[in-house]
Structure 1
Amino acid sequence: MYQILIVDDEIHAVEGIYSGVDWNKLGITAVFKAYTVRQAKEIFVQEHIDIMLCDIEMPQATGLELAEWVRECYPSTETIFLTCHADFKYAKQALQLGGLDYILKPVPFAELEKVLERAIDKINKESEMVQYSQFGQFWFQNQPMLIERFWQDILNQTVPSNPKAISQAAADRNISYFEDMVFIPVLLSIQRWYKPLSLRDEKILEYALKNLAEEILLESRKDRTIISLGNRRILVIIPIDEKQEDISELEESSQRYIEACSHYFYCDISCYIGEKVHGHGMLETVSKLKEMERNNVAYSNKVLLLSKPKVHSFDYKPADIRLWSVMLEEGAFDKVLTEAMQYLNGVDKDVLNADFLKRFYQNFQQMMHYILQTKGIQAHQLFSDLNSQEVSENATRSVTHLQVWVKYTVIKAKEYILSLEQSQSVVQRVIQFINLHISKDLSREEIANHVYLNPDYLTRIFKKETGMAISDYLLQERLRIAQELLVKTDMPISAVASQIGYSNFSHFSRTFKKHTNLNPNEYRQVHQKTLHS
């Protein structure tokens, strides 16, 4: 017969459920009560609980956290959630698909009895399935938490990947394991969420994705293991018969899982199915699956097999970053954005992999930083906020993410540059132009053309605002930079002259001495001694 535990911080709610259900009719012989998560855990230690009826919103720890603990330590227990919130949409869908259920308070007893009947039926079916599993009886005797840690130690190389070491590690944990056991690992990777999620919502959905994987991929069998690898990845380890050749059923169930995730959980997810492997080969096979996942930047919601690797072709035309750079200097941001999108959409999917995206990302980023520099803008002024960092970090996950980053970067740079140009005065723009082109032989006409003004008119307004002529400002800035380079570096004097726009060394020396009373070499000797004294 069966035993149930009711967990709710509201005493009257517990008593109402206790008195409102015909427990004997359901075959439930014992009903336990707990008003905190701590009390519930104590009862689990003392009693065998078949079904837990649990409120979600409780002080100190939530019902979801208690359910996660129960799932790890007492996996045969079925959990039914209660809540007062009718709009708890994510949890409702997640828990229903994960093999659990969800009832809105106040509890309708007729509905509760039907849910309890389904839970009992599920418990009976799982018990029958384990009896027919080749290795199920051995693995069912152990707590899944210990088995999960066993595989994690293998994947983390805490346990060496050799048969004797793995067998010894299993024996130390009292896990029944045989060297000739064969497994198929399946890597589940969340590629993107369809909408922004709070940390709470994402945690609930990831919890639900694991439950759904247990329901569809593991078929609720206890001889199979599911492990969270972090970074939106889940690993499923399925023991199989070594003689089993056909994995079409696993492909079909993986596709059903993907379709359910896309429909109910607002995400793209792909499944990577490994090859048959013994325990000591698990690390190598999972590493291959991770590399396969890393290089899948073109396909979403796909089932991919390690036994059928995609052949990458490198026959492609690289993006014309130099041309785009010239176009951006001329302000053609929209045109560059259009061409970049067309280029990424036109690349053959067989070419696309993680390295391709990384090269494009780095080259495009370098171009954007150069354009910002020519405008006197430092990249961190635009892209140091949390949203920019998140978009950048995800850029090489897939072509879709890369396109989001390209669009975000180009539009933000365009808006910032236009805003800056509109807010600057003519004199500020002239000073910025001079500072950016100090190494060139700038003429008064060239400077005036930059701000679309007559040279004489520009000279008058520049002197009115700064108190000096444009030529005097240009000379002042060149001499200031030359003085710093002579003192702080060992650059040849001819290189210093070239750095500030003097191609004639003699002319530079005469000009420098005229304004400092020392020639460049004398200036360096005097001031370097002062600097190091």
Structure 2
Amino acid sequence: MRMNLLLVDDEEYVIESIKKNVKWSNTGIKEIYTSSTMQQAQDIMKMLPIDVIVSDIVMQEGSGFDFMTWVRQEQYEVQVIFLTSYAEFDYAKRAISLDSVDYLLKPIDFLKLTKALQLAVNKANQAKQLEAYKDESFHWKQNRSLLLESFWNELLNGKLVAENLLDEVQKRHLKYNGDERFLVAYLQLYDRNLKKEWDEKIIYFVLGNVLREMLVEYNIQLEAMALIKKQSYAIICKFIDVSNIDRKSNGVFDALAKWITKILKLDIWCGVGDWGDLNTVQESLTYIKRMRENSLSVWNRILYVTDYKLPEFAYQNPYQSVWEEMLRREQKQKLIDSMKIYLKELERNEMITRDILNKFRLDVLQMIYSWLDKQEIKAHLLFSTKESEKYYQNSLEGVMGAEQFAGYLIARAIEYKKYVNKTESVTEQLKQYIDKNYQQEIRRDELAELVYLNTDYMSRIFKKEAGVSISNYLLSKRVEEAKKLLSQSELPINSVSIYVGYSNFSYFTKMFRENTGYSPLEYRRKYKIETGAKE
């Protein structure tokens, strides 16, 4: 029986080190959950079945001993392993009193930790075996649950294309006959305070449990939940008594919204469809997603398909010319603040749709790219990072994402332009690259990509600051390195040629003579520090 583990440590690198260095396949651990504070660890214990805990002792917001004292008081059946940087007798004594499996010192010996985990899992298994029982009905229930989960995940993620879903139901031996009535909801969670995200597995488990409890009083059961994308879920409810559907029962989602904002402290967007048969589920979810794209400024209240009308907004941006002037003057914060005011105004009027955000993003991109082009900076290279891509994708999720995207582009563009204006910065960066890679073939366009500049503009900057062209600087670097090798090493001359970047020996000899007045052999004979070189 595989176990769930909770890692508790306020130093993230310790958690990551444990996750990376323990050979988990040898421990019997199935799922790993993490927490950086005692409060979050307590919340996880309340929500999830945890079998083994690995906890640091000294933490800023409640010690590991405080946490485990609470765990024992709440009578959770778990095995614990303590970690600490302090080899103190009182700590060891306290760990024993809290019935710990082991007490390990940092830096962590991962072999010892693995053995301690194996022991903890064995003890947890023994405790479970005393209470566990299994019978045929239990197994059938579990198998049916897996079949249902697979069916709904495929349906909601668009992987089932059967014209009549009842055919697919029969193939999977599911007990649907076509008379059932289902309701689909789409829930998206968002942390506008930008705190640490909840573990996806925790959220999935908790939401399912809370919904099941809330739906009981409405004579509704939670049939399935599917993760559509990060922090976004499709929820399928089934009415138990089809002959007596109460369409106001959708109100359970208002209660869910209040619970999420109060307990999880997250913002939500939630759209709820109408009751329909199995064949209407995909269509209903598609419509709700469209509703989501046209109501990105609506948070923490439930939108019902039965009451909703798709808005029709025309995108009008009266500030574009003002923004372009602010950018020309490099008024970074003033420009960012102006864009925020504009977006907040749209949000107050509930005019934020995906189409409007897309047009806003296009305005920002065109403005920034055009301005950078005038500075002879290659915008497509400057914004080719993973960080840029993340901001780009999030820019259509809501006002916060759009603000962050615009702010990132503006700051990056203006700061890099200032960097380029300090020509010695660009020149020094290019010199360092050439000095490190002079043995390889170096092209001008490759160097231009390195500093995100047009090739000719980069060459002009370099020559102005360094006093020589890039090609002459590279040539000079190779000659100097060749002189060192000829005078201070026993390398054959043809090897020296290859080492400094010239595969053509004749060309190397010609180049070396033109720049030193000697052939490589003459230079070695005249300046060799130690005799005995063999040609």
TM-score by length of 2: 0.54
2:155 aligns with 154
2:188–2:231 CA contact under 8 A, matched in 1: yes
Q: How many residue pairs end up in the alignment?
A: 348
1:181–1:239 CA contact under 8 A, matched in 2: yes
Residue 92 in structure 1 maps to residue 42 in structure 2: yes
Per-residue CA distance 1:412-438 (angstroms, 9 max, x = gap): 22222223324459x99xxx9xx99x9
2:485 aligns with none
Q: 1:183 to 1:327 in 2, by over 3 A?
A: same
Post-superposition shift, 1:381?
4.9
Q: 1:262 to 1:315 in 2, by over 3 A?
A: same
Q: 1:143 to 1:463 in 2, by over 3 A?
A: closer
Q: 1:56 to 1:143 in 2, by over 3 A?
A: farther
Residue 60 in structure 1 maps to residue 24 in structure 2: yes
Residue 145 in structure 1 maps to residue 159 in structure 2: no
2:168 aligns with 169
Shifted more, 289-298 versus 56-65: the winner is: 56-65
Post-superposition shift, 1:172?
2.2
Once superposed, what is the RMSD of the aligned Cα atoms? 4.5
Q: Distance in 2 between matches of 1:306 and 1:410?
A: 38
2:476 aligns with none
Post-superposition shift, 1:402?
0.5
Post-superposition shift, 1:362?
1.0
Post-superposition shift, 1:211?
4.0
- Output aligned runs, 1:42-61, within 5 Å: 56=6, 60=24
Per-residue CA distance 1:436-476 (angstroms, 9 max, x = gap): 9x9xxxxxxxxxxxxxxxxxxxxxxx999979xxxxxxxxx
Q: 1:397 to 1:161 in 2, by over 3 A?
A: same
Post-superposition shift, 1:284?
0.7
Q: Distance in 2 between matches of 1:184 and 1:464?
A: 69
1:274–1:307 CA contact under 8 A, matched in 2: yes
Structure 1 alignment gaps of length 5 or more: 1-35, 41-53, 69-80, 116-138, 439-461, 468-533
Partner of 1:345, secondary structure, is helix
1:398 aligns with 398
1:331 aligns with 330
Q: Distance in 2 between matches of 1:238 and 1:357?
A: 32
Per-residue CA distance 1:87-134 (angstroms, 9 max, x = gap): 45435324525699999657977743899xxxxxxxxxxxxxxxxxxx
Q: 1:340 to 1:234 in 2, by over 3 A?
A: same
2:5–2:29 CA contact under 8 A, matched in 1: no
Q: Distance in 2 between matches of 1:95 and 1:61?
A: 24
2:192–2:400 CA contact under 8 A, matched in 1: no
The AA in structure 2 aligned to 1:96 is K
Q: 1:223 to 1:297 in 2, by over 3 A?
A: closer
1:217–1:250 CA contact under 8 A, matched in 2: no
The AA in structure 1 aligned to 2:75 is L
Post-superposition shift, 1:65?
7.3
1:95–1:208 CA contact under 8 A, matched in 2: no
- Output aligned runs, 1:236-385, within 5 Å: 236-240=235-239, 241-244=241-244, 246-251=246-251, 253-315=252-314, 317-347=316-346, 349-385=349-385
Q: 1:109 to 1:420 in 2, by over 3 A?
A: closer
Q: Distance in 1 between matches of 2:278 and 2:77?
A: 42
Post-superposition shift, 1:196?
4.8
TM-score by length of 1: 0.54
Q: Distance in 1 between matches of 2:40 and 2:220?
A: 25
2:220–2:238 CA contact under 8 A, matched in 1: no
1:112 to 75, 82, 94: 75
Per-residue CA distance 1:189-235 (angstroms, 9 max, x = gap): 1234633537x845444544444444445789866222222332212
Per-residue CA distance 1:154-203 (angstroms, 9 max, x = gap): 345554454xx3223222222111211111111111234633537x8454
- Same amino acid, percent of matched pairs: 21
Structure 2 alignment gaps of length 5 or more: 8-21, 54-66, 79-139, 429-447, 457-462, 469-535
2:131 aligns with none
2:294–2:310 CA contact under 8 A, matched in 1: no
